[in-house]
Amino acid sequence: MNNGLQQKVLSYSGIDTRSISKHPGYAVMIIDMQKMCLKGVHPSDERRILRSQATVIDYCIESNIPIFKVHYTGCGQTNFDIQEKLKEVPFIGKYTKRRDDAFKTYSRLPNILRNNGIDSLFMMGVYASMCLQESAISAKKKEFNVSTAWTVIADRFEFKRKGLDNDIKLIFENNNITFYETHNEFIDHLKLRDLSRRNP
């Protein structure tokens, strides 16, 4: 639960999320987890990322970590289970994009993130070699700390079948984006960071 905090929508004017979040500076960005986008993902991959993303969202609720939900124009609503979980998130930003890269659609997005005390993003969603990859690289170029994990992303099934997803991790790492094997590694990283911050 979010400790009784009323959900606040993050905007350009900014909210001091650092003063409330257990992990100041961090936010999770969910990209294109919509019905039409998920149709291109293999059913086993869809089940995997839904289960893993739910765990991350639960941790965000528990720790008051902001979430930014990014939609692709014309691709329908967010997956129902994810949408229901997002209702409990204390801080949420909602944006619709017209391009693969979320940061090209919204030139003000970096300022919105910084105005809300955010300098580090953990990205989840689809498609790993398209929208998510382009958004992550753009965020890194705009000097955000960016990370993701295999368990919270998926690519189009046709790309996997052709083996085009094999280079995803290498591309991320070559762009200095932290790539965890699992979402639990990311959560463990936050817990260790919090511990070291409280016990220098």
pLDDT of residue 11: 76
Phi–psi pair at 2, nearest 5 degrees: -100, 30
Considering the entire predicted model, what is its pTM? 0.91
pLDDT of residue 179: 95
| Residues with pLDDT less than 50, the chain | 1-2
Q: Which two tokens stand for residue 28?
A: 């999770």
Residue type, 139: A
pLDDT of residue 21: 87
pLDDT of residue 77: 92
pLDDT of residue 1: 47
pLDDT of residue 20: 81
What class, spelled out in words, does domain 28-194 have in CATH?
alpha beta
Domain limits, the chain: 28-194
Reported as a single tens digit per residue, the pLDDT across 45-65 is 999 999 999 999 999 999 999
Strand partners of residue 33: none
